A and B are shown apart, each in its own frame.
Chain A
Amino acid sequence: MSAAAVGTHAVADTDRAVLIRIRGLRKSFGTQEVLCGIDLDICAGEHVVIVGPSGSGKSTLLRSINLLEKPTAGSLRVNGVEYGPGLPGEPPQRRGSPLALRRTVGMVFQQFNLFPHLTALGNVALSLRSVRNMKASEARVKAAESLRSVGLLQRAAYYPAELSGGQQQRVAIARALALDPSVMLFDEPTSALDPELVGEVLRTMRQVAESGMTMVVVTHEMGFARDVGDLNVFMEDGAIVETGARGFFDNPTSARAKEFIRAVRR
């Protein structure tokens, strides 16, 4: 099977464990089908980049991985636990709870979504206290460590309104990282930023990638995708059109992917 097989992506047997296994995943809003049967395997430590035109379902796919969108049909397995409704004819015997899933999957949003009434430190510490049941003092130290990892320890006492967009997004990354997730999802993390602030967020994301974190990134940043993406996915109309390993963006196979990449590279 070639790396750029059209329609599906199945990982050949490697020594890396499959962390997320998606099979026949479908999602409809009313009568409109947004995801029309997605198959995708994501290995531990892999950096997956999803690109495609708007409305192609890439954000919905990403949000399905932590069940912010509930799949209509299909299988979603994370760490061997089934969270989806299952494939037709074989409903899962046991399904994991969304709460348990989300506690192992970190997510970064386009609009940062920091809690405006809490300081940067408070934003990171909140989930440590209530998810990890840490004591306040313990949570503050861990939160500060997480802020240091994104280079914002000095801004710990600032409120989101006092931070630039890039800094807010880095705090959001620190907030998700603090819970030691096994995978990080990024939903167009730089799309809401002023161009001059994109660089610092991408640098932070590269650091996260270098630390060996499994990442799934929906982005239009082709430079980042080319450098970091181990597995690149091109989506259109709710389906995966083409996938490819490193170098995919220089040499896509399908006509639609070629056209799209030419347009965004401009």
Chain B
Amino acid sequence: MKIFDYDWSLIWDYRGVLLGGLWVAVQVSVVALVISAVIGLLLAVLRLSRPPISWIATAYINVFRGVPALVSVVWVYFGLAFLLGINFSVFQAGVIALSLLYSAFLAEIFRSALGAVPPGHREAGQALGLRGSRIFFSVILPQAVKVALPNIGSMYIGMLKDTSTFTIIGLLEVVRVTQNLVSTTFQPFVFYTAAALIYVLAAFVIDMIFRFIESAYTRPPHGRLLAAVRRRQRRKISELVEEMGG
């Protein structure tokens, strides 16, 4: 079979199906990212606490960082569902499987990010009489999130790619729809190339989105879009200053 025997126009014909697969993958991974971020932050805080509380977090992190996504989803979809007597949908099973793994990874990212905030800022908060929770949410966390963002971005690319393993439970993500198309068109090279391109392009877009969020978290904010936000904030404050007679 020569290169011109491949029917590349098939990709365009089936673009809706392929992008539909991407959309499913994005939905599963975004829901899992939100859950992982919350649980990961909690685990990071637990890991930074005193033993024996920190041991629980350490154990969780070390176990679930080591489990491959494929094993995780089979274990959730067949094992955990049987154990709990609940029938998970493939979507739910995918979200749970990803969240179990990536909350462990994000916990480590948050732990190092929380550690990167200078201890003097906590002390300044304490000296001002702020409560511990207020110091955490208003002083430490905003700074830690900024440090963690680039790593969360790379993690998310990994999460999106790991949804490809959920083809085994029949989730209609990119690889699953690719397989379906191959079985009817007999053009595996064409469709797997398309699948690869979709993942690569998605990774580009995710990177761009996270860069944008990162620049939004930079103080003073960078970028043209945020300069407008900045100007509004400045105007509001200078109005106040003028009101007070400079």
Contacts and interface: CB of A to CB of B under 8 A. Distances in A.
- Chains A and B bind each other: yes
A103 B120 contact: no
A113 B121 contact: yes
Interface of B: 118, 120-121, 123-124, 126-131, 134, 138-139, 142-143, 146, 217, 219-220, 233-234, 237-238, 240-241, 244, 246
A127 B130 contact: yes
Given A102-B127, A148-B244, A176-B128, A157 B118 contact: no
A219 B60 CA distance: 48
Given A117-B142, A154-B241, A156-B240, A131 B130 contact: yes
Interface of A: 66, 68, 98-100, 102-103, 105-107, 109, 111, 113-119, 121, 126-127, 130-131, 140-141, 144-145, 148, 153-154, 156-157, 159, 161-162, 172, 175-176, 179
Contacts of A119: 233, 237
Contacts of B142: 117
Q: Which 4 A-B pairs have the closest CB atoms?
A: A103-B129, A113-B124, A107-B127, A157-B237
Contacts of A176: 127-128
A161 B233 CA distance: 17
- Residue of A126, A157, A172 contacting most chain B CB atoms (<10 Å): A157
B130 A162 contact: no
A140 B244 CA distance: 11
A176 B146 CA distance: 26
B220 A127 contact: no
Given A140-B240, A156-B237, A161 B220 contact: yes
Contact of B241 (A107, A109, A153): A153
B120 A113 contact: yes
Contacts of A117: 142-143, 146, 217, 219
A102 B129 contact: yes
B219 A127 contact: no
Nearest to B138: A126
Given A153-B244, A159-B219, A109 B237 contact: no
Contacts of A157: 233-234, 237-238
Contacts of B234: 157
A173 B29 CA distance: 46
B240 A179 contact: no
